Amino acid sequence: MDENRQDNLEEINGSGPGDSFNDVSFEDSLFIDFEALLRSDDLEAIADKILSGALAETDFMKKDFLDKFLDFIYFKVQTGYLDIISMAYPSRRMTDKELEKKVIEIVNEHLYPEIVLRILKYFTRQIHDPDSNLYIANLITSEKIITSIFETYRLFRKDIFIRDPDKRSLNVKRIQQFSSRSDNRLSSPLDAAARLKYILEFLALKYNLQHLYTPEDLLLLHPEASGGE
């Protein structure tokens, strides 16, 4: 493994003071110009604007501004260049390095903790193309966010052994923000745990995370997961 990739998480983020902005509005808008928003160097103000838009959305079944921000990030990474630290974990990076630097700081610092549930929802909903979850995972540097992913993985791993199919899929549906009456096949805890396990393995390749979890902690047949109803 390339030792240069064992970066300290604290050294990745960074920003500087810059001009404020007042000309980007989210009110009554189906299209959000995140490109214009991110021209500012005031990252805290950008985060406040995104969060205020997210709080204004009262229908949890609809995408709020945090969800749309993740969609924007995904698009910018998807159209970037390949970044493969292992053939088993292909990812991509943004071509605009300055934009990527801003996004990393906003996601990991200024939008925490509100961004956590949206990231988990994004990861667990990626049923048909789970490999592309690494596009977002590649931007995660916060140990708090990584810990949340790991704890959610542990929750899903326990749910695998619940016998009742409705109870078994309930926690996954909550994270996905699906109706409890939705098709259980879309919310399998085994599938969801496998997707999160893949992300956690990828992050462990990038960073030294032994103090958060070990390869043994990621085993699907871990002793703590043996219970069930």
Residue numbers of the domain that contains 84: 3-225
Where is average pLDDT lowest: 57-61, 99-103, 117-121?
A: 57-61
Strands (E), the chain: 81-84, 90-93
pLDDT bracket for residue 59 (50, 70, 90): low
* Averaged pLDDT for residues 70-78: 96
Q: Mean pLDDT in the chain?
A: 86
Please give the Cα distance from 33 to 107 (Å, whole number): 17
pLDDT bracket for residue 136 (50, 70, 90): very high
pLDDT confidence of residue 16: 38
pLDDT bracket for residue 60 (50, 70, 90): low
Residue with the bigger pLDDT between 11 and 108: it is: 108
Count up the domains in the chain and report the number.
1
pLDDT bracket for residue 25 (50, 70, 90): low
Q: For the segment 142-171, what is each residue's pLDDT rounded down to a tens digit?
A: 999 999 999 999 999 999 999 999 999 999
For residue 64, give Cα distances in angstroms to 44, 81, 224: 19, 28, 35
Other CB atoms within 10 Å distance of the CB of residue 1:
9
Name the DSSP letter for residue 160.
T
* Averaged pLDDT for residues 61-73: 87
Name the DSSP letter for residue 218.
G
pLDDT confidence of residue 22: 52
pLDDT bracket for residue 8 (50, 70, 90): very low
User: Does the pLDDT value for residue 19 go beyond 70?
Assistant: no
Place of tokens 């309930």: 170
For residue 14, give Cα distances in angstroms to 11, 49, 110, 137, 151: 8, 20, 12, 18, 27
Non-local (6+) Cβ contacts of 117 within 8 A are 175
Helix (H, G, I), strand (E, B) or coil at 91: strand
Angle at the Cα of 182 from the Cα atoms of 162 and 161, rounded to 5 degrees:
10
Please give the Cα distance from 142 to 106 (Å, whole number): 11
Q: What's CA 173's distance to the chain center, in Å?
A: 16
Handedness of CA 194, 197, 199, 202 (dihedral sign): negative
Q: For the segment 181-199, what is each residue's pLDDT rounded down to a tens digit?
A: 999 999 999 999 999 999 9
The answer to whether 59 and 84 are in contact (CB under 8 A) is no
The answer to whether 40 and 21 are in contact (CB under 8 A) is yes
